[in-house]
Structure 1
Amino acid sequence: MTVLSVNVNKIAVLRNSRGGAEPDVLRAAHACLKAGAHGITVHPRPDGRHIRDYDVLALSDLTRERGVEFNIEGNPFAPPREGYPGLIQLCVNTRPAQVTLVPDGDGQLTSDHGFDFARDAQALRPLVAQLKALGCRVSLFADAGSDSLEQAAAIGADRIELYTGPYAEAHAAGDADAALALFAQAARRAQAVGLGVNAGHDLSQDNLTAFLRAVPNVLEVSIGHALISEALYDGLDATVKAYLRLL
């Protein structure tokens, strides 16, 4: 079974746009877990545009109490600054079940590409080892078309997370067959070298079923933007349960 981790970043975006504490990130995460979600994902950024360091600590406590997975995403190379202690320090403080390393720069609106493993392997290797020493499972963001994604295994990663933005675009355009074939091939390549496969970015109720039917043995999907958008219409409980039915 593919498990669902709900990314609650967008709740924090709404909160931060107004100031104060509403909508409450912790309450939203609790609602998702009560509805049956298997875990919570956050992607804190150095500029604090959504999830903040105190959110990470609170969500770590919640997920530990509930016995579910906490997944922290982020760029391990982004230096600490005021209000952001750095991805590694956040992981030291919270010991999440999974850390997903993503090569996003400060100026990116959202994550839009995976690592170039041939280029980044030497820099990633000690960070992966450090996170695994904390007891974290490590996943690396990867493009389905990468000719070096197998190197994630040599770096020491446990999984890759396939960046599904290109698939979502192809699906929306009504021509997803080639994208699905590419993602299925990427999953098999990763699995052949012992990597687990996660997936995320722009997955939605419209395109998720076709993806999971075509791409073998996806262990986890991390969904935030679409799920929260859909929940504005249908409610968090109903939306999470709808995803669980699809999975």
Structure 2
Amino acid sequence: MTYLPPELHETEDGSLTLYTPTFGEHYHSTHGAVQESRHIYMGLALRGRLERWDRSSGRVLEVLEVGFGTGLNALLTALLAEELHQPIHYTTLEKYPIGEDVYSRLSYDLSTETQGDTLLRLLHSAPWDEDVPLSPTFTLHKVHTDLTTYIPSEGIDVIYYDAFSPEAQPELWDEVLFQRLYAAAHPGAMLTTYCAKGEVRRRLQRAGFAVERLAGPPGKREVLRATK
């Protein structure tokens, strides 16, 4: 497969996304990149898990992201970790990282956060395959691979399943991968994904997760949340 560099596109909420000619898909919803990320991953996954989190344990929250992409999910997670004073260790997988010529043109208007673009650059330029503390509450660990070859460490608390669609990358939606994630997850761990297809839901259930259909962001009727 010939990998073609992604193209910058603006979404309906004014925030930017990328379009990949290689897979024929956008990295985020064209109805709004930021609102999609905040709803599915920050809201249903991260905040949902923290609602049941025992802060007295002193344990760092372990987040695994399947698909680093533009870095938007990581950026919003780092900002939320600081806001909530919640230490997060963030592991993210990406087989096709975007180059500086692309990520240097990404910008997100996050209103109160004036350093967002600087942090986004740091996320992209951080070295691979090592822990990189970017703030007192956020440590990044980027892995240059995809989930088909990655063996997750035990103790995952939150999973952002943000791969391209089953039509574009069917190998990333295999039931064996969901079984692998279930085995590595803490009890109470939450996985969210924009993909609400019935077969994806059934594969998650067969892997052991309890799966809910929940209202999606604008332009998306339903999304899935799976809990161990």
TM-score (norm 1): 0.36
Q: Which has the higher helix share?
A: 1
TM-score (norm 2): 0.37
Q: Which has the higher strand share?
A: 2
